[in-house]
Amino acid sequence: MRQRETGSVDDFDGYDADFRSHYQENYATSGYAYDQYNQVYRYGYSLGADQRYRNSEWDVIEREANRAWEERNPGTWEQFKGAIQYAWAKARGHMA
């Protein structure tokens, strides 16, 4: 995959090995399977690839991300926000 300033939603699958590794290191004992976390990483990645947030830092978009997440997944933001932020940063190119 060629390097880009920011990711696109289409690039998500190219990060699967990285997301699996991050899951194993941080969430494997959480009681949730990787397949469940895959949805979490996908949400975070889509935020990072979203042009509306292109020039925004995490602390600026976190409130909106939290609200949108909680609408569909009530009461789970605290459990998943670390993985969401990680995938957001990957899409933005903030992490190697």
Q: What angle do CA 41, 9, 27 make, to 5 degrees?
A: 10
Per the model's pLDDT, the better-predicted residue between 36 and 94 turns out to be 36
Would you say 18 and 90 are in contact if contact means Cβ atoms under 8 Å apart?
A: yes
Query: Does the CA dihedral 22-27-31-36 come out positive or negative?
Result: negative
Integer Cα distance of 41 and 95 in angstroms: 14
Q: Which of 88, 67, 91, 90 is nearest to 77 (CA)?
A: 67
Residue-wise pLDDT tens digits, 49-79: 999 988 899 999 999 999 999 999 999 999 9
What pTM, to 2 d.p., does this model score?
0.86
pLDDT of residue 1: 30
